[in-house]
Chains A and B, each alone.
Chain A
Amino acid sequence: MSTDPFPLPSLRQFHAALEADREYLNSRFRNSSRPGSFNGNDFLQEFADLAGPLVELVALEAPERTRQATRGLFDSLLGLHVSGHLGPQPKLARLRDLWQSCLPRARRLLVSDAYQVSGALSNGLIRVAQHSTNSAERWLTLMETAVPQVESMTQLLDVGLVAAWFSGLAPFRKEALRKLAELPFAISRTLLRWETEGTPTLLSQLLQSWVADPWVRPLPQIPSPRNYSLMKVGQVGSFRGFDGPFLYPPMVVAESNQLIAISGDSAWRILGDCFGSAAIQTTRVPRKAFLTPDQTSECVKLSRAGLIQWGDLQTLDASLAGASSYACDGTTLAITLPTSFHVYLVARCES
């Protein structure tokens, strides 16, 4: 059953725009680089399904922009079809949801530049989906709720960046923190899912906390009292054969306050926070001795049995017994096992 919040009686304006720009659109199609298997009829059908309602929305807002919007959405969809991300066997089926449920909420932005808006959001979803399917789902949900409040293209990109971080793409954390501070509070609150709770002051405190500790949970109230415990917060990486980065079981070191995983002759920077974790390949391969269990680091100690002692906290995790290496950057403890292709992350979190 359709839950389309934007029911439209017809595609009259869309059809009028198609008729007016028929030659232009046909020439765009002819001049595009399409694979041999490309089916024009499939594309046309999807163009009508996805772009038609959006053009009608643009026509309601600004009739004189209808043709421009049609051309922009045509180019955008053609690019996605040519790349295979849309079509009868799409690489990313969720893109249709983006076009059907998220883009209609950005009608004001579509009026100003339909091509850029649809293209940027589509590319964004594709990128986030490369991280994980769950991330894509979460990103799409966040964007659907935040987009109606966005007033400009620049703001849309910033919102997309913050949403990407919140969806688990840890490499965007640093830039997203900066953007989050600049966005209007109403949008930040939406992205944080605070509903009607939270205040700008609390957000400001949260941002400052995140600079020091990436594992602080984004709660709309500060819990009192604050109780901390050590807990496993994630795992990063997997065997290359399973789409992961590591050819050999990795080992970890800490250098310049960064966690580096080394597998063979290659190295990856390990990034983790309350929203997710990632391994980013780096060209710099540290030449440093690995810390093994029972060797003490500056702040943490790990025993062969899997007992972790970190300041005044300690925990026993038998699954981490017999570690091959461990390293700590001050906020995150990374542990590797000799027979595993994962890097396990432990942090001091509020329980």
Chain B
Amino acid sequence: MFKQNLHHVSQAPTNPQSEQVEAAFDVADLYRGPVPVSIAEGSKALPLDEKFRQAYFWIVNHAIISPFYDIEYNDGPPQKFPLGDRKDPVVLPSGQSYCSFVLLPLLTFAVRAKCLLVGGPGRGKTSSAVLMGILAGYSLRDVRRAIQKGQPQMTVADLLGSPLPADLVKAESIDQIGIAWRKWLGMRVKIIDEYNRIPTRTQSALLTLMSDNYAELYDQTFDCPDSAWYLTANDDAGGGTYQVIEALRDRIDIVVKALHFNSRFLRELLERIESGVRPEEVMPSEIIFSEDEWTRLHTAIRRVPLPDPILRRLEFFASQFEYLEAAAAQFEYKTKDTVKLAALDWHQVTSQETGKDKLKDLGSQTRNGLSVRALMTTLVFVKALAYFRGAKQVELEDLRQILPFVLHDKLIQDPDCPFFELGENQAFRSDKIGWIRKMFDLACGEYDRLQLDSDDPVLKLSDQFNEGLDGLGERDVRKRLVEIERAVKKWSGSRKFYGHQYDDVLKLKYLHQRYSNYLRWLKWKDGDPE
């Protein structure tokens, strides 16, 4: 594989469903000649999504030896073969599939997110991040020098910069002190190697950078440009030399595992050694993104439509996790977050949970719900994945594939849940990707069983409300209030009450309150002597 020309960027469209441009007079004739240059086929710049895919295929074919296709897409029924004692299937996908270790850092680059690369030492985590830096147009030298290497003696000054010594002496006030900011702060790709070896105090400075995108020293601030972040850690649990503060962990948008090296590809390694060529030194210029192209890429991704039916399924899935009946008496506070804030024993609280089938209830499997940040990250990444595939809009499979990687560190598993006691589910205690995907499949199954696509009273009431209140009379408002109360009453009769119903009831309460306020206003308006 490595003997192929490293300069080669595939000329064939990477996704045949893309539109083919009609060939006009071929100005590429100017550059056809005895030297076979790949740009000879056309002096036009690649469309951005095609360039994006070309970058993926160049990396996966020439740079990183990672022959895995764990992000699986199927055009038709795939072939599945049960293997081993447990008879877990190996799937041969029927559609174009991708390697998460290559694709997800690339998506992170496109949407300017924060990616944590985890895995044992020597598995290509830092190399993958370096490739992203070169993809952004930086030289290899600049990228390598800008890598922040976590180590126990790392100080805030090491990370951010130092005050200019002359200013320290001369300054009469703190704002007169000039700061020599570290060069890496201004880069569009930022790499932190072994972030779990950074001491806690310095982690706080890093947190400010990652969350608010500015650095502060001696009352001086440096506003960093938007950038893609790559952090590496050797330990999946985030331990290492220092405990990573939770707020910092929470800023990570996506977690990517460095997969093991498949020994059947040892020859590729040998060829690489013999040729002495490093892929990061020979990335073709055609796949390098200028700053303008990077910005346009981000804009294009955000514009990818997300159809309502897909969004609805994501809503249904996300609503499964937060509700915990025993957490409070006030309905709004019946959440796992309430228990966490009260620092109560988890099992003590959850043992009071009755009335739910804990094998069926997805919420029982987690110790927390999904934050706004996690949901926003999901939305951005699912659009990026759809864009990468050349799809006109987000598809359900895009959501199914991306969710586990985004929520990997966001959803905390309760391994004592009865769900994991079942034989076929025990592997999910360690396989978090498989677990989250399984939960999504179960949620979609439940969604279909409830026929929510065609029979969703809460959606109907929401749509009705979204049409607006202008011109709505008192009679119509009362009618709607009754409908809302009837819907809530329907659930109050049932002993079993699940997470998605919790969010539905809260939505109904919200609608009820909005209509009630409007009714009060109508009465006040009609009662106005003028």
Q: Which residues of A contact B (CB under 8 A)?
A: 20-21, 23-24, 62-65, 67-68, 71-72, 75-76, 79-80, 82-83, 85, 111-113, 115-116, 118-120, 122-124, 126-128, 152-154, 157-158, 160-161, 164, 169, 171-172, 174-175
Contact = CB atoms under 8 A, between A and B. Distances in A.
Contacts of B236: none
Given A64-B141, A112-B288, A158-B43, A24 B277 contact: yes
A123 B37 contact: yes
Interface in B276-330: 276-277, 281-282, 284-286, 288, 290
A171 B32 contact: no
Interface string B1-42: 000000100000000000000000101011111111111100
A120 B31 contact: yes
A152 B276 contact: no
A71 B282 CA distance: 10
Contacts of A116: 7, 37-39, 284-286
Contacts of A175: 25, 27
B40 A123 contact: yes
A154 B289 CA distance: 12
Contact of A123 (B25, B31, B281, B285): B31
A172 B34 contact: no
B317 to A, nearest CB: 43
B243 interface: no
A62 B144 CA distance: 13
B33 A161 contact: no
Given A116-B7, A116-B37, A152-B290, A161 B285 contact: no
Interface string B405-442: 00000000000000000000000000000000000000
A54 to B, nearest CB: 15
Contacts, number: 108
A201 B140 CA distance: 41
Nearest to A179: B43
Nearest to B290: A152
Interface residues of B, number: 31
A24 B43 contact: no
A197 B397 CA distance: 59
Given A23-B274, A115-B37, A127 B29 contact: yes
B284 A113 contact: yes
B281 to A, nearest CB: 5
A64 B282 CA distance: 10
A9 to B, nearest CB: 23
Contacts of B372: none
A120 B39 contact: yes
B35 A122 contact: yes
B42 to A, nearest CB: 9
A119 B34 CA distance: 8
A122 B33 CA distance: 8
A149 B133 CA distance: 25
The 7 A-B pairs of least Cβ separation, nearest first, read A123-B33, A83-B34, A119-B35, A119-B37, A79-B35, A113-B285, A157-B43
Contacts of B275: 23-24
Contacts of A82: 34
A18 to B, nearest CB: 12
A169 B141 CA distance: 42
Contacts of A111: 139
30 contacts: A20-B276, A23-B274, A24-B275, A24-B277, A62-B139, A65-B140, A65-B281, A67-B276, A67-B281, A68-B281, A71-B282, A72-B7, A75-B35, A79-B35, A82-B34, A83-B33, A112-B288, A113-B7, A116-B7, A118-B35, A119-B36, A120-B39, A122-B33, A126-B34, A127-B30, A127-B32, A127-B33, A153-B285, A154-B45, A157-B39
A142 B25 CA distance: 24
Interface of B: 7, 25, 27, 29-40, 43, 45, 139-141, 274-277, 281-282, 284-286, 288, 290
Contacts of A112: 285, 288
B34 A127 contact: no
Contacts of B274: 23
A26 to B, nearest CB: 12
Given A72-B7, A79-B34, A153 B39 contact: yes
Nearest to A176: B27
Contacts of B32: 123, 127
B140 A64 contact: yes
Contacts of A120: 31, 35, 37, 39-40
A170 to B, nearest CB: 12
Contacts of B286: 116, 153
Counting chain B CB atoms within 10 Å of each CB, the highest count among A82, A83, A175 belongs to A175
B31 A64 contact: no
B7 A160 contact: no
A120 B29 CA distance: 11
A76 B31 CA distance: 13
A304 to B, nearest CB: 37
Counting chain A CB atoms within 10 Å of each CB, the highest count among B25, B27, B39 belongs to B27
A118 B39 CA distance: 12
B38 to A, nearest CB: 7
A157 B31 contact: yes
Given A24-B276, A24-B277, A152-B290, A64 B37 contact: no
Contact of B281 (A64, A76, A79): A64
B294 to A, nearest CB: 14
A55 to B, nearest CB: 14
A80 B274 CA distance: 27
Contacts of B140: 64-65
A82 B35 CA distance: 10
A124 B30 contact: yes
Contacts of A124: 30-31, 33
A184 to B, nearest CB: 13
A64 B38 CA distance: 23
Nearest to A84: B34
Contact of A64 (B29, B39, B45, B139): B139
A112 B134 CA distance: 11
